Chain A
Amino acid sequence: MATQPTPEQDARVQQAVGNLLRAGVLLAASVVLAGGVVFLLRHGGSVPDYRVFRGEPMDLRSFGGIVRDAFSGSGRGLIQLGLLLLVATPVARVAFTAVAFAFERDRTYVLIALLVLSLLFKSLAG
């Protein structure tokens, strides 16, 4: 039976989860920013039109297509890759919380976090 986690343990978990979140968000933001600069340099002068929904081209809808576009230097591809990284941060948050609870030997919450993670994957795979 696990003992009650101490406030110090909880604080360590909080610091670790917080640092991971910050790193993920800054990484995602830098990729989007880089893509944004490329995108605006190429298209900054054109007039945007979002009145009619055309949907994104297929290569910006799938993981493989986005990665290919990003590495070929496309601004839109880079932005989309940064957005994928952003979407991954909450998922990583849950996964990392599970690991942190495991270090605390808090079995109940390891199970709860893993349950959330599996539900998340289920709906992401939709």
Chain B
Amino acid sequence: MNTLAFSATIAAASFCAGFLGSLTGLGGGFIVTPVLTLVFAADIRYAIGASLISIIATSSGAAAAYVKEGFTNLRVGMLLEIATVVGALLGASLVAVFPTRVITVIFGLVLLVSAYLTTRPRAEHLTAGLPPDPLAARLRLDSEYPTPEGPQRYRVRNVPGGFALMWLAGVLSGLLGIGSGAVKVLAMDRVMYLPFKVSTATSNFMIGVTAAASAGIYLRHGYVDPGLAMPVMLGVLAGSMVGARLLFGARTARLRLLFAVVIALIALEMIYHGAVGRS
């Protein structure tokens, strides 16, 4: 296969990655990495470099639409980003100390359970009628988001719990070199009771910032190859822009199912990697 056909194939796979990644708030790395390593037998380090680019591209491609439409909760995103980045810095410094393979398998199992939990429907707008959470009120986190029935108010609960889980998401992403989108969405959806679409859009906003933090290191180590990253970036961007257009009209129950299927696949991918020791 020559470079032209190779680039076109990768761009097509990346389009799907950006599409799914923008709708689920997970980034596109979970498709880009296995496609490059399993289908094209690329070295894992090239795949990691390209996957990092795909996460930033998904995030930036969809973020413009999500922020303008009002899905992204900028305050929640900024607040939680502190926890994630601090965690990621810690995680990266622990790589040499911890048995990452064991952690990868454990985390994969946790994600499998989470996938099951996510499919169980939750009353989305329960929080609007509740009294404000004192800490969330002081931090002005309560907001509204667009629905086909008009703007819907929501309240944010359990800020410390979400903050702690975000910190853990950061540690895991620094330690395992994986995107932390899954834990981010779960923390906002399950712990802080944000509407699902707000959770995925805000996670989408955050993952780009988290990934950008480690981009410098990968670039300096020569992981980012222009020949691979070019089709990945362009494909993912196009896919995420298309995906972002669909979020408004998408049914939340279907999004939850999509999210659950994707994190179940990520979980299996991680358990496999941990077991064969390739990551």
Mark A residues whose CB is within 8 Å of B. 4-5, 7, 10-11, 13-15, 17-19, 21-22, 24-25, 28-29, 32-33, 35-36, 39-40, 43-48, 50-57, 60-62, 75-77, 79-80, 82-84, 86-91, 93-94, 97, 106, 108-109, 112-113, 115-116, 119-120, 122-126
Contacts and interface: CB of A to CB of B under 8 A. Distances in A.
A84 B229 CA distance: 12
Interface of B: 1-4, 6-7, 36, 40-43, 45-46, 53, 56-57, 59-61, 63-65, 67-68, 70, 72, 74-75, 78-79, 81-82, 85-86, 88-89, 139-140, 143-144, 205, 208-209, 211-217, 219-231, 233-234, 237
B3 A97 contact: no
Nearest to B209: A90
Q: Which of A89, A94, A113, A123 has most B Cβ within 10 Å?
A: A123
B64 A47 contact: no
Nearest to B7: A40
Contacts of B72: 14
A76 B64 contact: no
Contact of A93 (B139, B209, B224, B228): B209
Majority secondary structure of chain B interface residues (helix, strand, loop or mixed): helix
A95 to B, nearest CB: 11
Contacts of B226: 35, 39, 56, 60, 75-77, 79-80, 83
A83 B227 contact: no
Nearest to A87: B215
Contacts of B1: 47-48
Contacts of B208: 89-90, 93
B85 A44 contact: no
Given A50-B43, A120-B85, A17 B227 contact: no
A16 B217 CA distance: 30
Contacts of B85: 116, 119-120, 123
Contacts of A40: 3-4, 7
B215 A120 contact: no
A126 B216 contact: yes
A15 B216 contact: no
A119 B224 CA distance: 22
Contact of B70 (A14, A46, A80): A14
